[in-house]
A and B are shown apart, each in its own frame.
Chain A
Amino acid sequence: MNLHEYQAKEILSHYAIAIPKGRMASTADEAGAVAREIASKKFAVKAQVHTGGRGKAGGVRIVATSESARDAARAMLGSVLVTDQSGPKGSQVSQVYVEAGEDVAQSLYVALLIDQKAGQMALVASREGGEDFEELAARNPEMMVILPLDAAAPPARKALKGFAGKLGLSGALADSAADLFRALAKAFVDLDASLIEINPLAVTEDGRLVALDVKMVLDDNALARHPELAVLRDQDDLDPVELEAQRHEVNFVRMDGDIGVAVNGAGLALATNDMLVEAGGRPANFMDIRTTATSLQISRGFDLVLKTPGLKVLLVNIHGGGMTPCDTVAEGLGISIRRTGAKLPIVLRLAGNNADFARRFLKNCGVVFHDAQDMNEAVATAVALARGTKKGAAK
């Protein structure tokens, strides 16, 4: 689960990490009022959207007066911010965060994450942070310094001070950096985070460390033990169709093609998608049925696929395993076809547990389908039907 910047900052402030004074605003006038209340010599007005690359896309403005804070907020609110990380649809800006501007002497990058290679927590940092950090780091991976941390015990102060030294910090600054790293590690474990990123972490001209921007991602699998964090989920941020699918144990991503796709399991779904694209097909969606889904939940997943505007073909590729046998999926498909009255051609590829039974079941339900022997045939048939080079409801 992604948190907004303002939420992440508030959480970190409880861990004694310094953040600029600021508040949320949902209208331009409110933004102006917040700026007056903060009373600083400059302000940052920042769009609260769940995407990176805001700065370069105009989602962060530094202004000198409360009037210009109001104007900046007016320009941002209601607009759609398209960044190099948001995808072409972009994100609608419905709230802005207004905060005091700081006089920055140096911008650092600091992140806590799970180092998958080592299977442990790691502190990752660079003495050069800021807006262009990603491109910089991709080109010069050697600029990153990494310190593995033990999730079970607080990190040793000496190691943290040494780490601060590698970032070019010394004296009192190295001490405050060690405190900040320790607080971050504690927050990471307390919150079951998957990522906490401070970029930039400013060294101000008066010698303080201030978190100017924070990104925080929490582990969805651990939210059950953090009800106070689970309520922070921003429902508006998720595609309503994808959200509905999640409720029914189906992973679903909308795409812009004309072949609806349903597969059991992510690996097989990725393989099916690869084959479809390479055969010249255009998937309308990516859908994988979780092993825990019941036939009723699966039918809701099919409903979502079948509702796609401009859909020409439905391709179902099921390799029935121990957890999801073919008949469970066939039941879901049968229910959905009856409920939606869908008439489009269906290509069905069934293998593994209960495949024959599932085929008979669907025929008995009156569902007409192309019965493909393998993935190759299924994909070729679906692409031909979508292009109109193959006709007819069944062979």
Chain B
Amino acid sequence: MSILIDSNTKVVCQGITGHAATFHMARAIAYGTNLVGGVRPGKGGMVHLDVPVFDTVQTAKDETGANASIVFVPAAQAAGAMIEAIEAEIPLVVCVTERMPVLDMVRVRHALKGSKTRLVGPNSQGILTPGQCKLGVMATVNERPGHIGIVSRSASLTSEIVSLTSAAGFGQSTTVGIGGDPVHGMGYVDCLELFFADPDTNAVVLVGEIGGVEEEQAAEYLKTAANTKPVFAMVVGRHAPETRRMGHAGTLRALGGGSAASKLEALRGAGVHIIDNPALVGPSLKSVL
């Protein structure tokens, strides 16, 4: 099994006719992803990548029975695309778009409240269930089916962790890139819950970074969660170069969290196995599992 996606997932691609979407969706199809249609306003009726293109997400869903969407839409229009998918009640939406305005994401988060949609991203490399479905832009050279769940804010570091868990003989159940933007869809806690409920996931690697408070939130959740599995975590940026800041640092500190030290302390306190650097992923997993 896996979380969020598997070989039965029926995918539509929003912005399918674009250059990046065409490039990456062709690879996803070659990987085995079941792409059933595309959306591009004004281009309804055409065929692209051998699937029908529709004017709206709702028609695409009605005509194809799609249960997931991947958004390849430029930053200025991406919020609208996500909200359209949420209104069409697509159960899973993945957005790979980078550099989205934060207030646009605040509006998307508002639309998500009480909806039937789970959003991953924006600025996400996507979700991968090895051997079954690739809903994103990640490399697929070192992945292999297995039982480690991976959830990460960083695409490049996920590639590294995937490759190291494979080399250590484990493989992955599913990898989820939640994206590094300040306001985004699913977070660590949502993914941990799903991984804990998935019979095919034996342990989770959480890849964290400095900034924000999500690692601390994950630690809070893990302290009280009833049904957990071994969780391993890495937090990078312990020696990050200090960039100049303006007056809000104190405010953000007062609102909680942010530094590598505070994240590591919180995670350690929640019983998480801390991995000091990527080179130690294999040995750490082997020593516990």
CA of A354 to CA of B125 in the docked complex: distance in angstroms?
18
CB within 8 Å for A322 and B246 given contacts A120-B109, A121-B106, A270-B240 = no
**A64-91 at interface with B (beta carbon < 8 Å):** 85-87
CA of A120 to CA of B183 in the docked complex: distance in angstroms?
8
Greatest chain B CB density within 10 A among A255, A266, A320, A322 is at A322
Check B148 for interface membership: any CB of A closer than 8 A: no
Contacts of B118 in A (CB 8 A): none
CA of A337 to CA of B209 in the docked complex: distance in angstroms?
32
Q: Give chain B nearest CB distance to A225 CB in angstroms.
A: 7
Q: Which of B10-18, B44-52, B54-62, B135-143 contacts A (4 or more CB under 8 A)?
A: B135-143
Check B286 for interface membership: any CB of A closer than 8 A: no
Contact A221 B106 (CB under 8 A): no
CA of A87 to CA of B249 in the docked complex: distance in angstroms?
14
Nearest B residue (CB) for A286 = B241
Q: Which of A85, A133, A152 contacts B245 (CB 8 A)?
A: A85
Contact B253 A52 (CB under 8 A): no
**B90-144 at interface with A (beta carbon < 8 Å):** 98-107, 109-110, 125, 136-142
Contact A120 B251 (CB under 8 A): no
Contacts of A351 in B (CB 8 A): 142, 159-160, 163
Contacts of B104 in A (CB 8 A): 222
CB within 8 Å for A268 and B254 given contacts A51-B244, A52-B247 = no
User: For the side of the interface on A, what is the size category?
Assistant: 35 or more
Q: Give chain B nearest CB distance to A53 CB in angstroms.
A: 8
Q: Give chain B nearest CB distance to A195 CB in angstroms.
A: 5
CB within 8 Å for A219 and B102 given contacts A270-B210, A321-B125 = yes
Contact B159 A133 (CB under 8 A): no
Nearest B residue (CB) for A255 = B241
Check A300 for interface membership: any CB of B closer than 8 A: no
CB within 8 Å for A134 and B249 given contacts A267-B153, A277-B239, A352-B142 = yes
CA of A141 to CA of B256 in the docked complex: distance in angstroms?
9
CA of A322 to CA of B139 in the docked complex: distance in angstroms?
4
Q: Give chain B nearest CB distance to A265 CB in angstroms.
A: 2
Greatest chain B CB density within 10 A among A217, A271, A278, A290 is at A271
Q: Which of A39-47, A108-116, A162-170, A360-368 contacts B (4 or more CB under 8 A)?
A: A108-116
CA of A52 to CA of B253 in the docked complex: distance in angstroms?
15
Contact A2 B246 (CB under 8 A): yes
Q: Give chain B nearest CB distance to A136 CB in angstroms.
A: 8
CB within 8 Å for A195 and B76 given contacts A151-B106, A352-B141 = no
Check A258 for interface membership: any CB of B closer than 8 A: no
CA of A132 to CA of B38 in the docked complex: distance in angstroms?
55
Q: Give chain A nearest CB distance to B249 CB in angstroms.
A: 7
CB within 8 Å for A267 and B107 given contacts A114-B183, A119-B183, A221-B101 = no
Nearest A residue (CB) for B253 = A138
CB within 8 Å for A116 and B182 given contacts A192-B103, A222-B103 = yes
CA of A302 to CA of B141 in the docked complex: distance in angstroms?
26
CA of A146 to CA of B246 in the docked complex: distance in angstroms?
20
Contacts of A120 in B (CB 8 A): 106, 109-110
Q: Give chain B nearest CB distance to A289 CB in angstroms.
A: 9
Contact B106 A114 (CB under 8 A): yes
Check A340 for interface membership: any CB of B closer than 8 A: no
Nearest B residue (CB) for A142 = B254
Contact B253 A137 (CB under 8 A): yes
Check A228 for interface membership: any CB of B closer than 8 A: no
Q: Which of A121, A215, A321 contacts B159 (CB 8 A)?
A: A321
Nearest A residue (CB) for B126 = A322
CB within 8 Å for A271 and B160 given contacts A87-B242, A138-B253 = yes
Q: Give chain A nearest CB distance to B101 CB in angstroms.
A: 4
Nearest B residue (CB) for A150 = B110
Q: Give chain B nearest CB distance to A165 CB in angstroms.
A: 21
Contact A133 B250 (CB under 8 A): yes
Check A197 for interface membership: any CB of B closer than 8 A: yes
Contact B254 A141 (CB under 8 A): yes
Chain A positions 100 through 144: 1 when the CB is less than 8 Å from some CB of chain B, otherwise 0: 000000000001011111011100100000000111011001001
Check A264 for interface membership: any CB of B closer than 8 A: yes
CA of A292 to CA of B20 in the docked complex: distance in angstroms?
10
Contact B247 A275 (CB under 8 A): no
CA of A189 to CA of B246 in the docked complex: distance in angstroms?
20
Contact B182 A114 (CB under 8 A): yes
Check A333 for interface membership: any CB of B closer than 8 A: no
CA of A325 to CA of B137 in the docked complex: distance in angstroms?
11
Contacts of A314 in B (CB 8 A): none
Contact A116 B136 (CB under 8 A): no
Check A7 for interface membership: any CB of B closer than 8 A: no
Check B70 for interface membership: any CB of A closer than 8 A: no
Contact A117 B255 (CB under 8 A): yes
Check A231 for interface membership: any CB of B closer than 8 A: no
Contact A273 B137 (CB under 8 A): no
Contacts of B254 in A (CB 8 A): 137-138, 141, 144
Chain B positions 277 through 289: 1 when the CB is less than 8 Å from some CB of chain A, otherwise 0: 1110000000000
Check B149 for interface membership: any CB of A closer than 8 A: no
**B161-198 at interface with A (beta carbon < 8 Å):** 163, 180, 182-184
The interface of chain A, by Cβ under 8 A from chain B, is 2, 50-53, 85-87, 111, 113-117, 119-121, 124, 133-135, 137-138, 141, 144, 146, 150-152, 189, 192, 194-195, 197, 199, 215, 217, 219-222, 224-225, 253, 255, 263-271, 273-275, 277-278, 286, 288, 290-292, 319-323, 325, 351-353, 374-376
Inter-chain pairs besides A138-B253, A291-B155, A322-B24, 4 sampled, C-beta below 8 Å: A137-B254, A150-B110, A221-B100, A268-B157
Q: Could you pull out 28 A-B pairs where Cβ atoms are within 8 angstroms? A: A85-B245, A111-B251, A113-B252, A116-B214, A117-B217, A120-B110, A137-B253, A141-B255, A146-B255, A151-B106, A189-B103, A192-B101, A194-B102, A221-B99, A221-B101, A265-B156, A267-B156, A267-B158, A270-B154, A275-B277, A278-B276, A291-B98, A319-B160, A320-B141, A321-B159, A322-B136, A322-B139, A351-B160
The 9 closest A-B pairs by CB, nearest first: A267-B154, A265-B156, A134-B250, A267-B157, A222-B101, A268-B156, A52-B247, A270-B236, A119-B109
